[in-house]
């Protein structure tokens, strides 16, 4: 079963070992927008007044990302802050996509990104974005095909605009629709 | 037997026939799922104690017997890595699948009083086979992602 989550919902979720211990809490998502991947999470301690943990959870150490917890095998899955994880945040396109514009390749601005939609499961990917769109309010748009990210905008194929959804429940259908459409277009191009 | 039925049973010392305390809770260990220890409320011995399952002589319908009081350990002295640490008490903890999905709260545990093997974990809505138990920790009871 494919489940979609807003990235903002993952924040503050507990990180739980298969032994049932909560070892940390998600502070933020280390996100590689250009590849559409989650690199990992930054963490805070559990509890009301606990400060940031100077440790990170890299994706390869995540057992499963679920709707109620991020599961890891053992507490050893948390890594001390290291240079690889740090540099991920600094990379172009690896930083914050919130507040930047989504624009089609032919130059139509679809809206401002307010959240990312994560497809959960064994290999989670960024399946789309939530946009605040002038005149339409909040819409969920899937991403597929060539996506280019700069610090100012995310550029998506024109077809993206036709496959948006209003709710997370209908997002799967929209994502599947866009995927098929882009496949079809690619086939037609080959046949020409 | 359901563990909630065993709660309140007297723990009796065989050498003296005296009551050492009463059963309040248990701790579980996985693969195979089993009761690793009993948590006791003791009288005049300074608070809570733990009785490892291997030191239970007999688990009867009305009393649990133990050879002598030296088998009891103070709960405070049990280190966190040990199977009988109170963190491994499942009752009242949320069930999380290994896929990270919450599935209710453990209300009861069905176990075999001869062997201590756990056959089922019960929540208000569901039951999970003991075979699916992955771990019990301070935060949650983790089960495999197979049963639904």
Tell me the pLDDT tens digit for each residue of B80-94.
889 999 999 999 999
Report chain A's terminal Cα–Cα distance, integer Å: 37
Which residue in this structure is represented by tokens 């979720």? A13
B138/A70 Cβ within 8 A = no
% chain B with pLDDT above 90: 87
Residue B132, in any domain of the structure: yes
pLDDT number for residue B110: 97
Burial readout A154-181 (b: 16 or more C-beta within 10 A, e: otherwise): bbbbebbbebbbeebeebbebbebbeeb
Note whether residue B98 is domain-resident.
yes
The residue segments making up the domain with residue B12 are 3-86
Give B-chain residues touching A20 at CB under 8 angstroms. Answer: 87, 93, 96, 134-142
User: Nearest-CA distance from B143 to chain A in Å?
Assistant: 8
DSSP, res A152:
S
**Residues B82 and B10 both lie in one domain:** yes
Q: Does one domain contain both B18 and B57?
A: yes
Residues A66, B96: C-beta atoms closer than 8 Å: yes
User: Residue B145: its chain A contacts at CB < 8 A?
Assistant: 64
In chain A, which residue's Cα lies nearest the Cα of B138? A21
Residues B76 and B109 in one domain: no
**Dihedral class, residue B15 (left if φ above 0, else alpha if ψ from -120 to 50, else beta):** alpha
- Quick check: B100 and A67 CB within 8 A? yes
CB atoms A22 and B139 under 8 Å:
yes
Whether residue B72 sits in one domain with residue B100: no
Indicate whether A68 pLDDT > 90.
yes
* Residue B71 within a domain: yes
Last residue in a domain, options B47, B69, B86: B86
Hey, are the CB atoms on B137 and A66 less than 8 Å from each other? Answer: no
How many CA atoms, within 13 angstroms, populate the side-chain half-sphere of residue A17? 16
For residue B52, the cross-strand partners are B37
Q: Of B86, B105, B132, which one is at a domain's C-terminal end?
A: B86
Residue A125, C-beta contacts closer than 8 angstroms, at least 6 positions apart: A36, A37, A38, A118, A119
For residues B9 and B81, state if they share a domain.
yes
Cβ separation B96–A20 shorter than 8 A:
yes
Q: Mark yes or no for CB contact B140/A20 under 8 Å.
A: yes
* Mutation choice for B interface testing from A1, A12, A20, A26 by most B CBs within 10 A: A20
Candidates A9, A38, A13; CA nearest to A125 is A38
- The DSSP call for residue B68 is -
Q: Are residues B76 and B48 in the same domain?
A: yes
Among B86, B101, B126, the domain boundary falls at B86
Are residues B94 and B137 located together in one domain of the fold? yes
One domain, residues B76 and B14: yes
Given a cut of 70, whether residue B40 has pLDDT beyond it is yes
Question: Is the same domain home to B93 and B76?
Answer: no
**CB–CB of B100 and A71 under 8 A?**
yes
Nearest chain A alpha carbon to B28 = A19
Number of domains in chain B: 2
The alpha carbon of residue A76 is apart from the nearest alpha carbon of chain B, in Å, by 14
The chain B residue lying nearest A24, using CA atoms, is B139
CB atoms B97 and A66 under 8 Å: yes
CA distances from A58 to A134, B40, B137 (A): 36, 41, 23
Same domain, B81 and B95: no
pLDDT for the residue B81: 82
Instruction: State the CATH number of the domain containing residue B82.
Output: 2.30.30.240
Q: How far is CA A28 from CA B26, B27, B55, B92, in A?
A: 37, 34, 47, 30
- To the nearest whole angstrom, how far is the Cα of B101 from the nearest Cα of chain A? 5
Pick A88 or B1 by higher pLDDT.
B1
Span B22-39, mean pLDDT? Answer: 96
Per-residue pLDDT of B51-87, as tens digits, reads: 999 999 999 999 999 999 999 999 989 988 899 999 9
Q: How far apart are CA A48 and CA B108, in angstroms?
A: 30
Residues of chain A with C-beta less than 8 angstroms from the C-beta of B97: 66
Using alpha carbons, select from B137, B111, B110 the residue that is nearest to residue B122: B110
Within a domain: B30: yes
Residues B9 and B61 in one domain: yes
Distance separating alpha carbons of residues A69 and A56, to the nearest angstrom: 16
| Domain presence at residue B69 | yes
User: Which burial class, exposed, middle or buried, applies to B129 when counting CB atoms under 10 A from its CB (0-12, 13-18, 19+)?
Assistant: middle
Neighbours of B143 (CB within 10 A): 30
Residues 109-138 of chain B whose Cβ lies under 8 A from any Cβ of chain A: 134-138
Summarize pLDDT for A116-150 with one digit per residue, the tens.
898 876 667 888 999 998 888 899 999 887 788 88
Q: Report the sign of the C-alpha dihedral through residues A79, A82, A84, A87, in that order.
A: positive
Domain membership flag for residue B57:
yes
Is B148 within the bounds of a domain?
no
Task: Indicate if B92 and B82 belong to the same structural domain.
Answer: no
Q: What percent of chain B has pLDDT over 70?
A: 98
The answer to whether residues A143 and A36 touch, using CB atoms and an 8 Å cutoff, is yes
List of domains in chain A: 4-90 (2.30.30.240), 101-191 (no CATH)
């Amino acid at each position: 079963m494919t489940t979609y989550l807003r990235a903002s919902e993952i924040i503050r979720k507990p990180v739980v070992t298969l032994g049932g211990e909560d070892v940390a809490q998600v502070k933020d998502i280390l996100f590689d927008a250009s590849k559409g991947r989650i690199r990992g999470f930054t963490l805070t301690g559990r509890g009301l007044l606990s400060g940031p943990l100077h440790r990170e959870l890299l994706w390869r150490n995540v057992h499963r990302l679920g709707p109620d917890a991020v599961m890891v095998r053992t507490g050893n899955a948390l890594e001390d802050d290291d240079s690889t994880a740090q540099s991920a945040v600094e990379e172009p396109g690896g930083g914050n996509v919130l507040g930047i514009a989504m624009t089609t390749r032919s130059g139509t601005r679809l809206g401002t990104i307010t959240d990312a939609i994560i497809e959960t499961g064994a290999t989670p990917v960024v399946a789309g974005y939530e946009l605040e769109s002038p005149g339409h309010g909040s819409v969920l748009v899937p991403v597929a095909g060539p996506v280019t990210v700069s610090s100012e905008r995310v550029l998506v194929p024109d077809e993206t605009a036709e496959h948006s959804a209003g709710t997370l429940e209908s997002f799967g259908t929209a994502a599947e629709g866009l995927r098929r459409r882009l496949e079809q277009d690619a086939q037609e191009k080959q046949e020409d | 037997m359901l563990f909630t039925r065993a709660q309140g049973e007297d723990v009796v010392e065989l050498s003296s026939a005296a009551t050492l305390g009463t059963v309040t809770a248990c701790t579980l260990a996985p693969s195979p799922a089993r009761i690793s220890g009993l948590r006791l409320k003791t009288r005049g011995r300074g608070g809570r104690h733990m009785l490892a399952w291997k030191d239970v002589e007999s688990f009867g319908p009305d009393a649990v017997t133990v050879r002598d009081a030296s088998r009891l350990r103070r709960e405070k002295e049990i280190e966190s890595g040990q199977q009988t640490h109170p963190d491994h008490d499942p009752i009242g903890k949320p069930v999380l699948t290994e896929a990270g999905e919450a599935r209710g709260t453990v209300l009861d545990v069905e176990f075999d009083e001869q062997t201590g093997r756990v056959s089922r974990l019960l929540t208000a809505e569901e039951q999970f086979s003991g075979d699916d138990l992955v771990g019990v920790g301070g935060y949650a009871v983790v089960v495999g992602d197979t049963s639904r």
